[in-house]
Amino acid sequence: MNEERFGTDWPTGCPPAGARPPSGKVFRIVTSDPPTASDFLTAYEAGKFKKACPCRRRVSVLGDIADAIHQRELFPWQGEY
């Protein structure tokens, strides 16, 4: 089932057992307004942070606006929007 939903190239145990697909609103920090397709690449797809957790490199959205604001404050180089 994991392979059907997430592909065969994901690391073992990623996403963790019991993970659910996102639903509802999600948020993403982007570098341009309006955003471009490259604003929505995961770190894995963009070839960034190769030493980071391989599972976390595939996460591309945040669950709420407060998380997005916090992320932007911690890592302003990620984008302004």
Q: Which tokens belong to 8? A: 């065969």
Q: Which residues pair with 75 in a beta bridge?
A: none
Structure confidence by residue, pLDDT tens digits, 59-71 = 778 888 999 999 9
CB–CB of 28/61 below 8 Å?
yes
pLDDT for the residue 5: 62
- pLDDT tens-place string over residues 3-60: 556 667 788 888 888 877 778 898 999 999 999 999 989 889 999 889 998 888 887 7
For residues 10 and 4, the answer to whether their CB atoms sit within 8 Å is no
d(CA 33, CA 69): 16
